[in-house]
Structure 1
Amino acid sequence: MSDLKRYEEAIVKYHSDLRIKSVPVLSLEFYYQYIKELKESLVDFRNLKGLAFKNKWEMSPDWNIDTPIKEEVIIVTDAKLSIVFASRNMIKMNGYVAADVLGKSPKMFQGEVTDRVISSEINTAIQLRQAFEKTVLNYKKNGEIYACLIKGYPIFNIKGELIHYIAFEKAA
């Protein structure tokens, strides 16, 4: 019994000599935010994989959705350029949530200062069913302008039919 008492006294002494007495509350908030973002990216990944499976996407070797979904915003449109998927991290880049953009055209992000030549080049690539990479001046939900690097790819099904476009986007 005396050994147990000495052990407890040693533990009390050890902990009283430590400089940090408790975990800072802010560190828990950062940890929570990280876990929340990780969870959201996993949900997005699962939903995107489901969309790919349902529509029998023929995956291009040029892109991999595993890594970008954590670091980039992913937008998928149907063949008529109506948004059918938007990753949850889009809110950090431009202030929009998926519900704001589903069913709309990606042109909703463009405005007066968007370079028409670059927009035309993107449209040409889309019409030719080619991949493209361009930096565009877009508008956030609050009206602020931001430069957006867009890497866009056509998506074909296993029959070779064009069914979607996918864009990996990030603030440039």
Structure 2
Amino acid sequence: MEFKVYDAAFAKQHENGAIKAMPLVSWDIYSQYLLQTNVLLHDVNSLHQIANKNQWKSVWDYKESLQDETVIVVTDAQLKIVFASKNIKKMNGYEAQEVVGNSPKMFQGAKTDLQVSNEIRKAILNKVPFEKNVINYCKDGSLYKCHIKGFPIFNHKGEVTNFIAFEKIAA
């Protein structure tokens, strides 16, 4: 009886929020959802902090991107990674904190197409968006085909402060 009262009170409190009410008998399932939601919110908050700090002119829908398992990587203007979403581990085996401070080139190797890499480099130098498929390397050395949508991010003064990439495993 106590669980039903708790469930009813919890559901009423959060009926207008993003939190979904689940009966306590399914707590093991709900805890996975709650954990994933907390990771997602941490990533979204981190991205908002970076955006505010660098006075980004653009606004991105991080939450929607992260919910569909897109990995988000943000670099500074010198192409050093300053943020990687936690779900990067699922894509290539690296923990987010392992890639921060490195160049995205850390994912490239012998089988990475140099022409595609050069096209990405040109887009970055020209400060224009790009969309490419590239062969990248996982932490364990295995290969994966990555679909990348990259964008320069400008501040309110028109200066490039960061680059953002939305990455998924390519079909």
Q: Name the TM-score, length of structure 2 as normaliser.
A: 0.80
Partner of 2:83: 85
- Alignment of structure 1 residues 124-143 onto 2, 5 Å: 124-143=122-141
- Alignment of structure 1 residues 8-47 onto 2, 5 Å: 29-47=28-46
CA contact 1:38–1:70 (8 Å) conserved in 2: no
In structure 2, C-alpha distance between the alignment counterparts of 1:115 and 1:30, rounded to whole Å: 42
**C-alpha root-mean-square deviation of aligned residues, in Å?**
1.4
In structure 1, C-alpha distance between the alignment counterparts of 2:162 and 2:123, rounded to whole Å: 14
Partner of 2:110: 112
In structure 2, C-alpha distance between the alignment counterparts of 1:154 and 1:94, rounded to whole Å: 23
Partner of 1:73: 71
Confirm or deny that 1:154 pairs with 2:143: no
**Greater radius of gyration (CA):** 1
Q: Secondary structure at 1:66's aligned position in 2?
A: helix
CA contact 2:76–2:82 (8 Å) conserved in 1: yes
Residue deviations 1:136-155, cap 9 Å, x none? 11001111100000000000
Corresponding pairs, count: 145
Residue deviations 1:95-125, cap 9 Å, x none? 1111110100000000011011100000000
Residue deviations 1:11-30, cap 9 Å, x none? xxxxxxxxxxxx6xxx6544
Partner of 1:12: none
In structure 1, C-alpha distance between the alignment counterparts of 2:92 and 2:30, rounded to whole Å: 23
Residue deviations 1:58-110, cap 9 Å, x none? 016xx532310222100000000000001001111111111110100000000
Q: Secondary structure at 2:62's aligned position in 1?
A: coil
CA contact 2:149–2:167 (8 Å) conserved in 1: yes
Q: Which runs of 5+ in 2 are unaligned?
A: 1-24
Q: Secondary structure at 1:58's aligned position in 2?
A: coil
Q: Name the TM-score, length of structure 1 as normaliser.
A: 0.80
